[in-house]
Amino acid sequence: MQKVLEVKGLTKQYTKVLAADNVSFDIGEGEIFALIGPNGAGKTTTIRMISTLLKATSGDAVIDGHSINKEPEKVRECITYLPDEAGAYKNMTGANYLKFMAGLFYTDPNKIIECVNRAKEICGLGERLNDKIGSYSRGMIRKLLLSRAVMTKPKLAILDEPTSGLDVINAIEIRKMIKKLAAEEGMSFLLSSHNMLEIEFVSDRVGIIAKGHLMVTGTGEELKQRYNAVNLEEVFERVVIENEIH
Amino acid sequence: MKFINLFQKELKELINAQMIASLVLVVGILMIVGNIMQNAISDTIEESTNPKINISDRDDTDFTKSLIETLKNTGAEVTEFDTDGDDYADILKKNDIKNLVIIPEGFTETIEKSECPEVLTVSRMTSAATMSNLSTGNSGAVALIQKSITSTIAQNSGITPEELELIENPVVLQDNTVVDDKSSAISIDNIMNKVMMQNMLLPIIVFLLIMMTSQSLISSISNEKIDKTLETLLSSPVSRTSIITAKMLAAAVVALINATVYMIGFSKFVQGASTEAVSEIASGVMGNVSVDEAIEQLGLSLSVGDYVLVGLQLFLTIMICLSRFNHARCVGKRYKIFTDRYHAHNDACNGSLHDFNGIRHKHSPYGIKNYCVRYTVYTHIFGYIKPHVRK
C-alpha cells in the first residue's frame, strides 16, 4: 500500500512540557488511522504539527512526498484540517461558506461548483444551507465543516475529534460517512479521539498516545489480541499501566 | 483569484447595514450642524449691518440728543431707555433687554473741555456657546457713537466730511496675491485662511480613519481566533501574506469609502461654518472677489484628477499605517509569547498565532528575560513598540 503520510520522530517541546516525544507512524492510501489518548496526551499537538500550524521542534512528516518543514505550502494543498470545536463565519450562509472555502483550494469556477455540490450532498443540510450559519445548531455546524473538509477530495483529511459534541445519531452518521469516503474514494483519514469505542468502529489502525509518547500502533484486533483485552479501552488501560511500570 | 475570494469575504464582513447606517448618521449630523452654523453666522452678519441699539441717555443735552438722532439716521434700530444707578443686572432685567449703551452724566461737558468722555456698555452673557454672544449691538453702537463724535468735532473745526474721510483712511489698500503666474485681487490672508481649513481637515480625517481601520483590522483577526475559524483558514492552501493582505486591503477600502463620505459631510459642514462668513466679510470689506472666486482664479482649486491623487494618497497612507501597525502587533505578540513562555504559561494557541504572524521563532540572542526587559523599557520610555522583528 502506498503511504500518504509518514511521520518520522515528530517532537514538540514547549518551555516545560514535552507535548510530543518522537512520534512516528504512517498512514496508507484509503486508510483510516486514529490517534487515541486521554486529554492532554499530545494528540492535538501532533495533529497541529502535521497540519503545518505548529512548527515541530524536531522530526519531520512527509505527506504525499512533501515535507511539513520544507514545503508547508505544498502540504496544505493536499490536506484538509478540521480542528476540534472549529467554527464557521456566522454572517455567511452555509452555501456561501462552502463556496468561499472551495475558492481557497481551486481557482477554476467549475471545480468550485463541483466541490460545493459534493459538500451539499454529503452534509445533508438541504434548504438550511441558505440560512446564516449563526442560526445553525452545533451538530449542523459540525456536519457543514466535515463536508467542507472532505469536499476537495484531499489526499489526507485530518479530523480532530470529529464527533465531539454530537448526539449518537449524528455521530453514527459521520462515522459511516468517513468509512464510505475511505472505501469508495480512497481518501485517507487521520482522526483523533478520546472515545475509544467509537474509534474501534471507524478506524483501520490505531495509535495509542499518552503523555506525548506514541506507545503502540496496530489494528484494533491485533492490539486486543496482544493485550488480551475485550475492547480498545482495556487495551489502552493496560498499555498505560505497562508504561508506568517500566 | 484566491486572493480575490479572500478579499471579497473580508469586504462583505466589513460592509454591513450598521456601517452604512452610521455613515448616513454622521453625514446627516455634520450637514445639520453646518446648516445651524450657517444660520447663526448669517444672523450675526445681519445684526452687525443693522444693529439693534439700546441706549440710555443720562446726560440729556442737545449734543447727546443730536448724537442719538445721528445713530437713528444710520439705519440702526435705536431704542431709548431711562435708567439710573449702577445695578446693571437689574436694569437689563427690568427693561428685558440683552445689551445697553449708557451715556453718563457730564458726557457733553467732557467733550467741550476737549477731553475723552466715557461711554458705558452692558452686555448680558446668556450662554457659554460661541455663537450665542456674537450678536450684541453694543460694539456697533459704540463705533457709531465714536464716528459721530469725530464728525461733530470735525464739523466744529470746519473740516468737511470729504476731508474727514481722507484723514480717517488716507490710503486705500488693494491686495493682490500671485500664485505662480496667476494673480487675483485678494489678500493673501484670506487665501491662507481657506487653505488652512483644508490643511487641517485632511490630517483629522486620516487620523480618524486610521484609528477606525486599525480597530477593525484587529477585531477581524481576533474574531477569526475567537470564532475558531483561523486554524481552518491557516491550514488551507493560501499564503499567510495573502490572508493578512486581504484583511488590510479590505479595511483600507472601507476606510476610503468612509473617508469619501466623511469628506463630503465635512465639506458641507465647513462650507456652512466658514466659507459663507469669510467670503461675506471678504467681499463686504474688500468690495471685490470672494475667496472661492479668488482660489479659482489662482488655480488653487482641486480638479477631479487632484481629488483622485488625494484619494490615492489617503489610501496609501492608510495601507502603510496598517502594515506598520501590524508589524508592531507582531512584536507585541512575540513579546506575549516570550513572557508566556517565560512564565511557563504555554499553550498550543500561541504557537499557531505566532506562526501566523510569519515570525519564524528562533532563540533570541538576548535571551528571553533580556528581551522582555528590553521590550518593557522601550514601551515605557518611548511609549511605543520598538519594532524588533527578525526573520
B373 lies in the same domain as B251: yes
Residue A189 has pLDDT above 90, yes or no: yes
**Digit-coded pLDDT (tens) for A37-50:** 888 888 889 999 99
B194 lies in the same domain as B84: no
In a domain, B142, yes or no: yes
**Digit-coded pLDDT (tens) for B377-390:** 334 334 444 444 44
Residue B391 has pLDDT above 70, yes or no: no
Residue A243 has pLDDT above 80, yes or no: no
State chain B's mean pLDDT as an integer.
74
Which phi and psi angles does B179 have, rounded to 5°? -120, 125
pLDDT the model gives residue A116: 92
B257 lies in the same domain as B206: yes
B207 lies in the same domain as B318: yes
Listed in order, strand segments (DSSP E) in chain A are 3-13, 18-28, 32-36, 58-63, 66-67, 79-82, 156-160, 188-193, 205-210, 213-219
In a domain, B175, yes or no: no
* Nearest CB partner across the interface for A87, out of B229, B235, B238: B229
B219 lies in the same domain as B328: yes
Chosen for mutation from A18, A104, A155 (greatest number of chain B CBs closer than 10 Å) is A104
B310 lies in the same domain as B188: yes
- Dist CA A202 CA A24 (whole Å): 21
- Dist CA B334 CA A87 (whole Å): 26
B285 or A65: whose pLDDT is higher?
A: A65
Amino acid at B126: T
Pairwise CB contact (< 8 Å): B237 & A104: yes
Tell me the mean pLDDT in the region B117-126. 84
pTM for the full predicted model: 0.69
B202 lies in the same domain as B227: yes
B185 lies in the same domain as B148: no
How close is the nearest chain B Cα to the Cα of A115, in Å?
15
User: pLDDT band at residue A114, thresholds of 50, 70 and 90?
Assistant: very high
Beta carbons of B331 and B388 less than 8 angstroms apart: yes
In a domain, B345, yes or no: yes
**Digit-coded pLDDT (tens) for A123-141:** 888 899 999 999 998 888 9
Residue B222: DSSP 8-state? H
How close is the nearest chain A Cα to the Cα of B212, in Å?
21
B247 lies in the same domain as B303: yes
In a domain, B388, yes or no: no
Pairwise CB contact (< 8 Å): B237 & A83: no
**Digit-coded pLDDT (tens) for B66-93:** 888 888 887 778 888 888 888 888 888 8
In a domain, B249, yes or no: yes
Residue B227 in contact with partner chain A when CB distance is under 8 A? yes
User: pLDDT band at residue B274, thresholds of 50, 70 and 90?
Assistant: low
Among B168, B194, B211, give the residue marking a domain's end: B168
Pairwise CB contact (< 8 Å): A48 & B351: yes
B266 lies in the same domain as B327: yes
Domain residues for the domain of B136 are: 47-168
- Dist CA A57 CA B263 (whole Å): 52
CATH of the domain at B61: 3.40.1710.10
Pairwise CB contact (< 8 Å): A89 & B13: yes
B299 lies in the same domain as B342: yes
In this prediction, what percent of chain B has a pLDDT beyond 90? 1
Does domain A3-85+155-245 correspond to CATH entry 3.30.70.330? no
Number of CB pairs, chain A paired with chain B, less than 8 A apart: 92
B64 lies in the same domain as B153: yes
Residue A132: DSSP 8-state? B
Residue B390 in contact with partner chain A when CB distance is under 8 A? no
Based on the structure, what is the number of domains in chain B?
2
B331 or B281: whose pLDDT is higher?
A: B331
